[in-house]
Amino acid sequence: MKPPLFFCCLVLCLAGTSCERQEDLKREIAALDASFKKDEAAARQYEKDIAALGGKESLKRIVEQTQSKEAQLRPLEFVNAPRERKLSAIEADFAKLKPAAEAFKAAQPK
């Protein structure tokens, strides 16, 4: 092989290798760009969701509301159950007394 021809082949080889290295870099850049866009989109979506929930400032208000409602709820939780038991007991007693009372009234002369 003559030297100029060898030189041409060498140049072509170098050009091919450099193109390959550039392609690798481009692929890496494309992957990073996709990841960047995905993260940006996720951040935007989270910001939208946060706004839908009332914004970042709403956290304090929500926590305060929750505490206030829990304080209201606590005494109420202990009222219904004993009241239900009391009413059920009275209802049962009334169910026993009612027929006897009706019978007593019915037995009276008009």
Partner 1 sequence: MSEFRFSTFLKALLLFAAVLGGFDYLSKFDKLKTELAELKTQAETARENAELCRQDWTEIKTAKDKLDQVEARMAEIIRQRDLLDAKERKLSGEIKYLADSMTVAVEKTRLSAIGTVIPELRLPGRPALLNAKIFKINEDSISFLHEDGVANLHLNSDELPMEFAQKYDLGPKSIHKGLQGLMNGLSAPAASK
Q: Two tokens at 7?
A: 């030189």
- Considering only residues 41 through 80, tell me which ones interact with partner 1, judged by CB under 8 A: 42-43, 46-47, 49-50, 53-54, 56, 58-59, 62-63, 65-66, 69-70, 72-73, 76-80
CB of 1 to partner 1, least distance (A): 13
Q: Which phi and psi angles does 57 have, rounded to 5°?
A: -75, -15
Residue 86 makes contact with partner 1 by CB under 8 A? yes
Identified binder of partner 1 from the candidate list 8, 9, 16, 20, rule CB under 8 A: 8
Count Cβ atoms below 10 Å from residue 58 Cβ, excluding itself. Answer: 13
Identified binder of partner 1 from the candidate list 11, 13, 16, 20, rule CB under 8 A: 11
Q: Two tokens at 80?
A: 């219904």
Task: Tell me the site size for partner 1, rule CB under 8 A.
Answer: 63
Category of 98 on φ-ψ map: left (φ > 0), alpha (ψ -120 to 50) or beta: alpha
